[in-house]
Amino acid sequence: MKRLLIVVFALVLLGGASLVGLVAFGIVPDFLGLGIRMEEKVAEAPPPPPPPRPDYVNIAPFVVPIILENGRLHRQLYFDLRLEVQPGKAGEVYARMPVLHDAFIRYLHQWYPLWMRDNSDIDLRETKARLRTVAERVVGPGVVDEVLFIALFDKPV
């Protein structure tokens, strides 16, 4: 008799727990008024779309000889550059590529000997800022976001 009471108690307990679970998940309506509900998921706003990816334009590699006042070759700098441009603006840059390439070479050929008179090493931040200014003058403001160095070799002579 004792065993029968334990089995009946266990079955009633299991049935009650099952009923509470079914009500909580909304499978069975809450006919007893227990007020048991799972939290409903609030619809989250979709995340904002990622910003458009920039376009990249490769610049043909070039060498800039550094010739100081005495007329002798001091060093040679090999540049391999890539431009990060606004999305959809790569065509504008490619259209101006010969002028841009020539402007980079002319500017560095003119500026680096002046820089090397007072400094012995290359300042990449300064070079990057100056090349970006040259690029903005050639292709227009707001087109080129960044000048990236792929490779820069310094060959002292």
**Tens-binned pLDDT, residue by residue, of the chain (157 aa):** 878 888 888 888 888 787 777 777 777 777 666 666 656 677 788 899 998 999 999 999 999 988 877 778 888 999 999 999 999 999 999 999 999 999 999 999 898 888 888 887 888 999 999 999 999 999 999 999 999 999 999 888 7
Closest alpha carbon to 53 in 77, 80, 84, 21: 84
Q: What predicted TM-score, i.e. pTM, was given to this entire model?
A: 0.68
Sorted by where each starts, the structural domains of the chain and their CATH numbers stand as 1-44 (no CATH), 55-156 (3.30.479)
> Cα dihedral sign for 108, 110, 113, 114?
negative
127 Cβ partners below 8 Å, 6+ apart? 108
